[in-house]
Amino acid sequence: MLFDVIRKRRSVFPAQYNETPIAKEDILKVLEAANWAPSHRKTEPWRFKVMQGETLEKLGLFLSLKYLETDPSPKEFKAKKIIENPKKASAIIAICMQRDPMKSVPEWEEVAAVAMAVQNMWLACTELGVGAYWSSPALVKHMGDFFEMNHEEACLGFFYMGNYDQEIPDAARGSIEDKTVWL
């Protein structure tokens, strides 16, 4: 049931992934789920770049070098984590937004549409039993140096994906009544 999938959705981090690869068919299902997100004026601003295999190692090295180059006080442990995390994933999908060339809707609506696409991806991963995590490091602004991006396209983060063995704990939320005002 949909409500059960929504309640079970969790961040599953690279340290929790095992080495079992994710089938390409499952990645395609996740991307297809993203494609059904709503967007104002049907701009469909989501764009994805799927990275697997050697590209994950190259991504980690690229991000680590950018971190060391751009951070005023880089830390060795963080640079090492930046290198290692991508290699733990079965796939990483760069989450990008292609701005509507006509700028027919506000930019925040395009970002919101991409976020809804990512939520669809996350729910699909939950249904498939695949761990997922949306990372949005400041380094994403440099991704045009790693892969080709179109004019007015921006990288908003990375969607890490991996299979996992351990139980994912239940989560708690505060009451919706404390967050709602009925007028």
The answer to whether the annotation marks 10 as part of a ligand binding site is yes
The answer to whether the annotation marks 142 as part of a ligand binding site is no
The answer to whether the annotation marks 64 as part of a ligand binding site is no
The answer to whether the annotation marks 104 as part of a ligand binding site is no
Instruction: Give the max Cα distance, the chain.
Output: 55
Q: Nearest Cα to 159, choosing from 129, 120, 118, 104?
A: 118
The answer to whether the annotation marks 11 as part of a ligand binding site is yes
- CA torsion through residues 57, 59, 64, 69, sign: positive
Q: Nearest Cα to 106, choosing from 156, 48, 45, 61?
A: 45
The answer to whether the annotation marks 9 as part of a ligand binding site is yes
Contact between 157 and 140 (Cβ < 8 Å): yes
- Point out the annotated binding site for FMN: 9-11, 40, 134-136
Residue stretches of the annotated binding site:
9-11, 40, 134-136
